[in-house]
Amino acid sequence: MFRTTALAGRRLDELAAAIGATVPRDLKRDKGWIGTLLEAALGASASSRPVPDFEALGIELKTLPLGADGRVRESTFVTSAPLDGSMAHTWEASRVREKLAAVLWVPIVGDGPPGERLIGQGVLWRPDPDEEAVLRADWEELSAMLALGEHGEVDARRGVALQLRPKAATSSSLTWTLGEEGDWVQAGPVGFYLRATFTRALLERRLRLAT
């Protein structure tokens, strides 16, 4: 948190220069650039392994894009939803709960060129009972649909805080999975995302409490 607070108010191009990173002109082909930059700056163990960013602390690091008006602009990817039957059967054992147990949200403010965006005050968040109840209800509904093979019924309109959306290189990437009748069907990979309405509300609550 000390390191995070020290970055608040600085521009991303300052930070990039300080750690020797190259600033892209836009994010079209560098969608993960900001997240990777903050991982490096804060000493997260950058890797592609499915573990928390701060492994010893059990804390996940997520950047949160805010518009110039300070509102969250995008949904937040949480984790993919396995279609191979390996998904947890309970919320307690789920990867979504594991991922969201402790998150360091770092707001990134601005709509312009990446280098000009500002780092906001980081917020270390653990879901409170109300937030966890909402997440649990969504997860139980969505994961049950996947477990029942109801892939045709699944779309991004379901879920209050969590939603399921495609998560793949392209829409043509398909995998075999079980359908409703136990038959083999093809379906695109999907992932759990947090709606911007949810992160917007949690950030406003936490910043108000912290002030």
Partner DNA sequence: GTGTGATCATCT
Partner DNA sequence: AGATGATCACAC
User: Distance between CA atoms of 12 and 10, rounded to whole angstroms?
Assistant: 7
Ranges within 5-64 binding DNA (CB under 7 A): 26-32, 34-36, 38-39, 47-50, 53, 60-63
* Half-sphere exposure (Cβ direction) of 131: Cα atoms closer than 13 Å: 19
Q: Does 122 contact DNA by CB under 7 A?
A: no
With CA atoms as reference, report the closest residue to 164 among 40, 41, 91, 80. Answer: 80
* SS3 state of residue 109: strand
At its nearest, how many Å lie between DNA and the CB of residue 14? Answer: 18
Smallest gap from residue 154 Cβ to DNA (A): 8
Nearer to DNA, 88 or 207 (CB): 88
Q: Residue 59 carries which side chain, given as an amino acid letter?
A: I
Dihedral angle over CA of 83, 85, 86, 90, nearest 10: 100
* 103-109 vs 60-66, strand pairing mode: parallel
In the window 98-117, what residues touch DNA (CB under 7 A)? 108
| Stretch near DNA under the rule CB under 7 A, chosen from 6-14, 126-134, 136-144, 154-162 | 154-162
Binding site for DNA (CB under 7 A): 26-32, 34-36, 38-39, 47-50, 53, 60-63, 65, 74-77, 79-80, 82-84, 108, 155-157, 163, 165-175, 188-189, 191, 193, 195-197
